[in-house]
Amino acid sequence: MTAFRTLAAIIGLCLVTAIGFVAIAWRSPIAPVPPPNTASFDRELLRRGAQLAAAGDCNACHTAPGGRAFAGGRALPTPFGTIYSTNITPDPDTGIGQWPEEAFRRALAEGVDREGRQLYPAFPYDHFTLLTQEDVSALYAFFMTREMVTATAPENEISFPLNVRMLLAGWKLFFFRQGPYQPDAAQSAEWNRGAYLSEGLAHCGACHTPRNRLGAEKASERYGGGEIEGWNAYALNEASPAPVPWDTESLRLYLKNGWHDAHGVARGPMAAVVDNLATTPDADIKAIATYVASIAGPVSAERQQAAEALVAAARNPAGKSASGTETSGEHIFHATCAGCHESERPLPFGGVNLILSTGPSGPNPHNILNVVLWGLPPADGARSPIMPGFAASLSDQQIAALLSYVRARFSDKPAWPDLEKKVREARNAGRPDTVYPAHGIDPAEAMLNRGEGP
Amino acid sequence: MTSALVTRRSVLAGTGALVVSFSSISRALTQTLDTGQREKPPLPGSLKENPFLDSWIRIEADGRITIFTGKAELGQGIKTALLQVAAEQLDVPLASLKLITADTSQTANEGFTAGSHSMQDSGTAILHAAAQARAILVVEAAKRLGVTEETLKTKSGAVIAADGRKLGYGELVSENFLHLEAQPQSPLKDPASFTVMGKSTPRVDIPAKVTGGAAYVQDMRLPGMVHARVVRPPSYSASLTNVDTAGAEKLPGVIKILRDGNFLAVVAEREFQAIKAMRALSAAAQWAQKPSLPKQSELPATVMALPSQDTAIIDRRQEGIVAAKKLEATCTRPYQAHGSIGPSCAVAVWNEESMTIWTHTQGVYPDRQAIAQMLRLPPEKVRCIHVEGSGCYGHNGADDAAADAALIARSLPGRPVRVQWMREQEHAWEPFGPAMVTKVSAALDEAGDIADWDYAVWSNTHSTRPGGAGSLLAAQHMAEPFALPAPKPIPQPEGGGDRNAIPLYHLPSARVMHHFLPAMPVRVSALRSLGAYMNVFSIESFMDELAEAAGRDPVEFRLKHLDDVRARDVVMLASERFGWDSFQRRLGRGCGFAFARYKNLAAYCAIAAEVEVERETGRARLVRAVAAVDSGQTVNPDGVINQVEGAILQSASWTLYESVGFDDTRITSIDWSTYPILRFDAVPASVDVHIIDRPGQPFLGTGETGQGPAAAAIANAVANATGKRFRDLPLTRQRIKNVIGV
Amino acid sequence: MKLKVNGSEYEIDADPDTPLLYVLRNDLALNGAKFGCGLGQCGACTVMVDGKAIFSCLTPMLVVEGKEITTVEGLGSIDNPGPLQRAFIEEQAAQCGYCIAGMIMRAQALLQKNPDASDAEVRAALEPNLCRCGTHMRILRAVRRAADLMRTAAHGSERRAP
Ligand code: FES
Ligand code: FES
């Protein structure tokens, strides 16, 4: 009897939980509408939408390498399997052409698609939820006026039980707080604007904050450095490994131009981000820089001094000849790297002096490895740094020797352990498409953007 | 008709030269007799300056035949075309001929290999020289065989009699056999009988080039040769204030460090040693520089503000034109680079007070004169031998590298010195194609025809080629420098900045102004097609705008204003082969058309292009191009096609991507990162070139006819695809996106 | 240091950091690999190492010790050209020709790995290599033709095999 009752109670509880869960998880579809007339949108709204879409880096995930803009199909590796981005062009059948604005809004704010399905947080609605109504409207207008592309993304490669989308509702219970953004009255308007953009649309934390085992950003380690597509998104908080500490001004220039002379050029997935930010209004970039700089807090006098010494050393051409230990790593460095990285070629197109680069000082060699293996591909028809990849010419052991030399010479950090194994892993992961070409870093083109051009 | 009459009019005392008037087999004879007392008409092609037949052709007693040309192979296939001409007119197998190209101690002085002139100058000279040589051989054979010339045939290097008797060319020649002055008229073969000319012939230089044969000056390895590198100043304005050479001197293999004013160079036994020493030297050098360059973002305004010498190259404007519509436009072009894939290189050796230089210059004689002046030597003490380099497309660093090699070699007597420029040196120091601005305004009458045309072009010179030591970088950088000679405009009808500034269209009232700008803030010179690229881009873009304003189809509008039949032919052929009339314009896809006759006196070229423009990125891509070309008598059809294909792709690269970057002090385009050009991802799906052959007509030259029309066809297609007109070159994705992005 | 180039072993006496390009050109007097930029931006210096196309201008000699190095000279000779060389001659795929040896070597590495490479794959593979003369259309045609030549040759030898 007791046993029966207990069982009944358990079953009952389960049922209630299940029903309750389904009640939460089940979302009703929103009826499709015919694609809106593109002429119906206000031009100013469209212009803002374009800027916002750029700040949101939407094209980076929603465009397959070599594919049509926003037509989806890009593979996004996650610890749980590969997710393919969807087509967000206004194609009525394969894109979002039949989505009313309300459905678009719900996807951004709640992570639920038009048909009521729960969305994976690879689509960072945990950030987009902070967006204001007006910004969502502008984005909607922008996407509804893109060129229609008929394209269906491949099926996600996620195994049971994670492929049961309903379960995402449970994930949301723990890790998702719906917006919109609540300003911090103690901070300046600029800071708040920066926080709104960085935390929301630009979703900086999606890459720069480490994630827990369930794939949610760790609240306790905000901006402590994360990983994306096999790249380090370096820590932006006080743990930042940048040899020269970032401040508002250097961040502003870096985000605006895609490079900074004391840090080098954005690469990996960040290259796409800065490419997009080139069209973001200066005030917004400044706001983002202000907010992000505040995450790390003020720089100690000591660190500042060390940084200045590094910059001075980097500028001294005579200091560029190597130490002369004549290891194979050094030989390789001379023949393969020195021509650009120890030359007079200025940034952003010349090689950065590696004393200033975060790569050799990083917590692990992922980024420098990706660059050494796959290089930086040329942007088509635009000025951009070009670095050849060395995957074909250097063995794991040779790359390991090179990186040990680089680490020893250009950072004050201890040697990276298991380097050869890491080279092998990165090589096997084989994602040369994660080194995005940088289209937007030409200073002359930046002038064109601001209407100052020739 | 009597048998051949070879009149030895006189033997010039002292020179031993025979001035011979001969004639043979028909036309030429009558001509010679007719014109006996009158002034001779000018000799054809480069025979004008170099009339002796043996300047072009020499036949040895063993039958070997050598052809000489003062022009150089630049990758345009000229060697093959010239050999075809000679083989055809001499009736010898092409493979049996040897060809010597530009060499100051062996070949005629034909100036520069430039301006699509090689076939017109050298091709024409060889055509006539070969035909005359053949006639002389026939005359000689007739004499020996005791038959009349009419009964003789030539074939495979022999003269053959009707009865089968045969005399090889070698058997017919004696010493100085062809040391005769050419005649104005030649017994040219009937084009209908051609077996070599007019037939696609595999290029003689390609097999070695694809198998690693020695093909380039870069490939030269002379015994005892050493490797030099120059440390060029960081900018035009830089002067060397101090350099501690001790570190570089100690490096392994270093033989010599040479400093002469701002000229700094290092020589080492091995090439990579020279590079390392160059890097060390460069790090040790201190330079004083000052901002001397204009603002890149204000380039058009800067160009227009430079003092100018103004010439109306045509001025037949009429007063009181009643215009139904008036349109105007301003177009701009930035500085653009030659950007040869192989940076310049030269080898020089100073032996017993004379200098020998192997160089990929376009002009061995002018280069010799300039280098001799720099070294303060009589020109006879300097020999310049052309050896191929990477494609040059005009005046690039070749002459400067030759001067570098000579200057360095003089300090190391007896040792051949190879100077190889680094990529950044080629990019930063080559003389660029000048920045230009054009302004055009025109009126349409009631019928939609052009009633009035007013055009102006602002440009630097398009040639600072060696015309003295001052053109050479080394000479400018020496402690006792030579000054750059004052620039001069290239006169019409060829023109420089104003090349092709006069439209070929029928214009009842027109004025064209050339604003020549002597001051050159950036080093400039000849880039393939000179001003024609920009003028044709401007004129042909504007023709489209006018057609649109007139509500007419662009091709039909052009034909309406074209009288020249050959021009009309290429326009109609290109539009037909492209499928112009049936082209379906779609979102982001457009087509464009353009036409020009290069220099208004060389080849005719019409191009239709299809372009795709991606709205989100602004990226424009040439999808397809169809060209029709008439370059007169075609010698090597496949060679012509190759040249025009190349012109279209190169022009697409210029037009869509290219501009030289600079800051207030230095050139910042120093490699392919900073000077992007066409890569394979943007190569069109197809490029078709159709030739209209004109047998028997003069050669018109092909190398530079396509650049202008290709640029305009692309720009017109972009306008067609986007509904917006872009008048500033290049049509970068950013520029397009800024206009059509949202 | 010992290098294996086009099937032969050579003892090279040069600094170990010397880029392979200079060893090939100066020590072994092979003209195929060209200096174009020395920066890995143009592909003029492309050769094959263990079947992969690499930029010899940025590859120090020491890292290719013991590996199979192939230059354009190793694919055939002027009298007996290899399939790619033949195809380039037949298509007249050169203007100045300076870029061509590099193009051929990159194409060779591709076709060795993927004899049925599509047009898109050929374009993608050739992306690192620049041609300034605008010979691209012919280069693409020549690579296609070479792939055909190689396929027929392969079939032929299969048939001949016992
Ligand atoms: S020379 Fe090696 S890539 Fe250009
Ligand atoms: S053929 Fe001249 S660079 Fe390619």
pLDDT tens string A73-90: 999 888 889 999 999 999
Q: How confident is the model at residue B742 (pLDDT cuts 50, 70, 90)?
A: low
Tell me the three state secondary structure of residue A431: coil
The preferred substitution site among C45, C95, C103, C105 for testing ligand 2, maximizing ligand atoms within 8 Å of CB, is C95
In-domain check, residue B104: yes
Report H helices in A56-146.
58-62, 101-110, 125-128, 133-144
pLDDT tens string B546-559: 999 999 999 999 99
Is residue B408 located within the same domain as residue B540?
A: no
- Report the C-alpha gap between A362 and A372 in whole angstroms: 15
pLDDT tens string B580-602: 999 998 889 999 999 999 999 99
pLDDT tens string B53-65: 999 999 999 999 9
Q: Which of B440, B438, B465, B441 shows the shortest CA–CA distance to B532?
A: B438
Termini Cα distance of chain C: 42
Q: What is the ipTM of this complex?
A: 0.93
Give the end of a domain, one of B127, B162, B194: B194
Average pLDDT over residues B468-479: 97
Is residue B190 located within the same domain as residue B224?
A: no
In-domain check, residue B537: yes
Q: Which of A74, A205, A200 shows the shortest CA–CA distance to A139?
A: A200
Please report, rounded to a whole number, the percentage of residues in chain B having pLDDT higher than 70: 95
- Report the C-alpha gap between B444 and B440 in whole angstroms: 13
Is residue B537 located within the same domain as residue B603?
A: yes
* Ligand 2 pocket, residues with Cβ under 6 angstroms: B 75, 341, 391; C 94-100, 131-133, 135
Q: How confident is the model at residue A449 (pLDDT cuts 50, 70, 90)?
A: very low
- Report the C-alpha gap between A364 and A368 in whole angstroms: 9
Is residue B575 located within the same domain as residue B712?
A: yes
User: Which of C133, C135, C141, C145 has the highest number of chain B CBs within 10 A, making it the mutation to test binding with B?
Assistant: C133
A89-103, A167-181, B52-66, B683-697 — which is least confidently predicted?
Answer: A167-181
Per-residue confidence (pLDDT) for residue B40, from 0 to 100: 73
Average pLDDT over residues B497-518: 98
**β-pairing verdict for B7-11 and B18-21:** antiparallel
Is residue B93 located within the same domain as residue B150?
A: yes
Which residues, listed in sequence order, are joined to residue B453 by a DSSP beta bridge?
A: B442, B510
Residues of C with CB under 8 A from a CB of A: 16-19, 38-41, 49, 52-55, 58-64, 127-128
pLDDT tens string B660-696: 999 999 999 999 999 999 999 999 999 999 999 999 9
Per-residue confidence (pLDDT) for residue B26, from 0 to 100: 36
- Report the C-alpha gap between B533 and B715 in whole angstroms: 12
> Ligand 2 mean position to B612 CA, how many Å?
26
Cross-chain Cβ contact B270/C36 below 8 Å:
no
Of the two residues A433 and B212, the one the predictor is more confident about is B212
pLDDT tens string A408-425: 999 999 999 999 999 999
Per-residue confidence (pLDDT) for residue A325, from 0 to 100: 57
Nearest CA in chain C to A345: C39
Report A:351-390 residues touching C (Cβ under 8 A). 375, 377-378, 386-388, 390
Per-residue confidence (pLDDT) for residue B50, from 0 to 100: 96
Per-residue confidence (pLDDT) for residue A317, from 0 to 100: 59
Is residue B637 located within the same domain as residue B709?
A: yes
In-domain check, residue B330: no
> Ligand 1 mean position to B223 CA, how many Å?
27
Radius of gyration of chain B, Cα coordinates, nearest whole angstrom: 27
Q: In which order are the strands placed within the sheet that holds B97-100?
A: B57-59, B65-68, B97-100
Per-residue confidence (pLDDT) for residue B446, from 0 to 100: 95
Cross-chain Cβ contact C98/B342 below 8 Å:
yes
The preferred substitution site among C46, C103, C135 for testing ligand 2, maximizing ligand atoms within 8 Å of CB, is C135
Nearest-Cα distance to chain C for A129, in Å, is 40
Average pLDDT over residues A241-267: 94
> Ligand 1 mean position to A68 CA, how many Å?
31
Cβ–Cβ contact B656 with A under 8 A: yes
Cβ–Cβ contact B619 with A under 8 A: yes
* Element at B312 (helix H, strand E): strand B309-316
Say whether pLDDT at B727 is over 90.
yes
In-domain check, residue B199: no
Contact B536, B573 (CB under 8 A): no
Residue C24, domain CATH: 3.10.20.30
In-domain check, residue B140: yes
In-domain check, residue B548: yes
**Ligand 2 nearest atom to the CA of residue B341, by list position:** 3
Residue B654, domain CATH: 3.30.365.10
pLDDT tens string B391-435: 999 999 999 999 999 999 999 999 999 999 999 999 999 999 999
Contact A226, A208 (CB under 8 A): yes
- Report the C-alpha gap between B428 and B523 in whole angstroms: 9
What is the SS3 string spanning B436-459? EEEEEEEEECCCCCEEEEEEEEEE
Tell me which chains share at least 3 CB pairs under 8 Å with chain B.
A, C
Residues in chain B: 742
- Residues spanned by the domain of C9: 2-160
- Report the C-alpha gap between A198 and A205 in whole angstroms: 8
In-domain check, residue B612: yes
Q: How confident is the model at residue A19 (pLDDT cuts 50, 70, 90)?
A: confident
Is residue B179 located within the same domain as residue B222?
A: no
Per-residue confidence (pLDDT) for residue B9, from 0 to 100: 33
Say whether pLDDT at B646 is over 90.
yes
List all residues 6 or more positions away from B529 whose beta carbon is below 8 Å from its beta carbon: B499, B598, B704, B705, B707, B708
List all residues 6 or more positions away from B452 whose beta carbon is below 8 Å from its beta carbon: B317, B318, B321, B323, B442, B443, B507, B508, B509, B510
Nearest-Cα distance to chain C for A135, in Å, is 39
Structural domains in chain C (count): 1
- Report the C-alpha gap between A400 and A386 in whole angstroms: 22
A25-29, A317-321, A425-429 — which is least confidently predicted?
Answer: A317-321
- Report the C-alpha gap between C108 and C114 in whole angstroms: 10
Contact A346, B668 (CB under 8 A): yes
Average pLDDT over residues A294-305: 92
Nearest-Cα distance to chain B for C17, in Å, is 9
* CA-angle at A445, arms to A443 and A451, nearest 5°: 110
Partner residue opposite A398 with nearest CB, options C16, C52, C63? C63
In-domain check, residue B492: no
Say whether pLDDT at B311 is over 50.
yes
Sites in chain C below the pLDDT cut of 50: 159-162
Please report, rounded to a whole number, the percentage of residues in chain A having pLDDT higher than 90: 70
- pTM metric for this prediction: 0.93
Please report, rounded to a whole number, the percentage of residues in chain C having pLDDT higher than 70: 96
Per-residue confidence (pLDDT) for residue A445, from 0 to 100: 63
> Ligand 1 mean position to C37 CA, how many Å?
5
Structural domains in chain B (count): 3
Supply the angle between the helices A43-55 and A269-277 in degrees, to the nearest 10. Answer: 150
Which residues, listed in sequence order, are joined to residue B7 by a DSSP beta bridge?
A: B21
Number of H helices, E strands in chain C: 5, 5
Partner residue opposite A381 with nearest CB, options B280, B283, B732? B732
A1-5, A405-409, B22-26 — which is least confidently predicted?
Answer: B22-26
* Ligand 1 pocket, residues with Cβ under 6 angstroms: C 35-38, 40-45, 55, 57
Per-residue confidence (pLDDT) for residue A2, from 0 to 100: 63
Q: What is the mean pLDDT of chain A?
A: 90
Cross-chain Cβ contact A147/B334 below 8 Å:
no
> Ligand 1 mean position to C60 CA, how many Å?
13
Is residue B563 located within the same domain as residue B606?
A: yes
- Residues spanned by the domain of B48: 8-194
Say whether pLDDT at B352 is over 60.
yes
Residue C17 with chain A: CB contacts under 8 Å: 330-332, 334-335
Please report, rounded to a whole number, the percentage of residues in chain A having pLDDT higher than 70: 93
Per-residue confidence (pLDDT) for residue B227, from 0 to 100: 98
